[in-house]
A and B are shown apart, each in its own frame.
Chain A
């Protein structure tokens, strides 16, 4: 059974997150799941008084996603991690390690993907 999530889109993501922040939710983390050859699931987890709220964003591979680190600074670490492991790039990262949070310069693959992807930033498009 899937966890109860609220589906969001790239356009509404930042607004939804901002709304949660204003309501006093604490960001727990984000999870990236490799769904199939073309899509990732991004799940954002929030917590308030021990209750959890999840936002789900389904995105195609190879296209950048808006970063929420502008709303919650704490998200920069997890977004950098996803960038390293899945090759999913974030637009407007507050602190961008550019794929070198864990990985070395010579690593060109995306180690956590079942199907490899090519990294694409907004600038490259």
Chain B
């Protein structure tokens, strides 16, 4: 059989962001996939040379548009650890609330895009309609819709009033009911199962070896979630990672669907246990030393390596985003698939390319 090389992307109907895959196909079957990056590389890590460590908070937020809050939180945690700053309790809980809200809207966005990938437009719009409520919560409580800028080194910048907490609670009730109503469609529908069950299988041994992260790892039956590290206020919340054993696209979808509901629950828990107190502490001095911090982003484990040299500017700010870790598993998953399944599998790792390339 003669081999053909098909370009997949950088512009492709299912891809929200540009990534190029060179697919070698034999007839309709993919035999090899080669990723090509570099369409949205911005060099944000290097900006730490000219921006001071406080300004970097706003810069790392822009690594990713969907989980900006979580990037800033991870960065701030790193700097705080380096400088020995203890963040007030209320700030920790507020960080959890906003980061879980980000996870909810990110997963809803992904569930919509995934529905779009297998051609279920009605489900796509339904999920995005639900997501709009979460975006409104972000906008009303933080002042910005997507890149919320609520973190600072030493705490958070905005507070939630009792009235706002009640309103968030009421809105989340609606969101939860609407998401639950779509469970049968997302996970049990005949067409959806036909397109996702057994497609793009990644065994748990493969996932571990290839360094998969987040829902891709948990969809392969490895229950590892960085929130188990009990950063921020997760030590005072009830939390168990969600995992599904099959390792196919359907499992990854199920993990994300369940995590959406779990995150809503975590927001509720954090709101119920929100202590009174200060929002931030004053940070004195300059960061010096090395630190590695990890948090769980909607797409998986996010790692920051920060190195300070006692000046206002950091020596090195290294960001390892989850999609970066999930590209090798993707390259391994693709061979053997039919061409028509490629978009579904590519989306099933929730690729965030601007994260990957920074």
A→B interface (CB under 8 Å): 1-3, 21, 24, 26-29, 31, 33-34, 43, 45, 47, 49-50, 52, 54, 72-74, 76-78, 95, 97, 100-104, 111-112, 114
Which B residues, 197 to 238, have Cβ-Cβ distances below 8 Å to chain A? 208-211, 224, 226, 228-229
Which size class do B's interface residues fall under?
Answer: 35 or more
List of B residues within 8 angstroms of A43 by Cβ: 305
| Contact indicator B38/A100 (Cβ below 8 Å) | yes
| Contact indicator B211/A74 (Cβ below 8 Å) | yes
Is B166 engaged at the interface, CB distance under 8 Å to the other chain? no
How far apart are the CA atoms of A114 and B325 in the complex, in Å? 27
Q: Please report whether the interface of chain B is mostly helix, strand, loop or mixed according to DSSP.
A: mixed
| Contact indicator A102/B357 (Cβ below 8 Å) | yes
| Contact indicator B38/A28 (Cβ below 8 Å) | no
| Contact indicator B305/A31 (Cβ below 8 Å) | yes
| Contact indicator B211/A112 (Cβ below 8 Å) | no
| Contact indicator B324/A78 (Cβ below 8 Å) | yes
List of B residues within 8 angstroms of A47 by Cβ: 301
List of B residues within 8 angstroms of A49 by Cβ: 224
How far apart are the CA atoms of A47 and B289 in the complex, in Å? 21
**Given contacts A29-B324, A33-B316, A77-B328, are A72 and B211 in contact (CB under 8 A)?**
yes
Across the interface, A34 reaches (CB within 8 A) one of B36, B316, B324, namely B316
| Contact indicator A102/B328 (Cβ below 8 Å) | no
Quick one: CB contact mask for B286-324 with A, threshold 8 Å, 1 for yes?
A: 000111101000000101010100000001101010001
B307 → chain A closest CB, angstroms: 6
**Given contacts A2-B290, A28-B211, A111-B43, are A95 and B327 in contact (CB under 8 A)?**
no
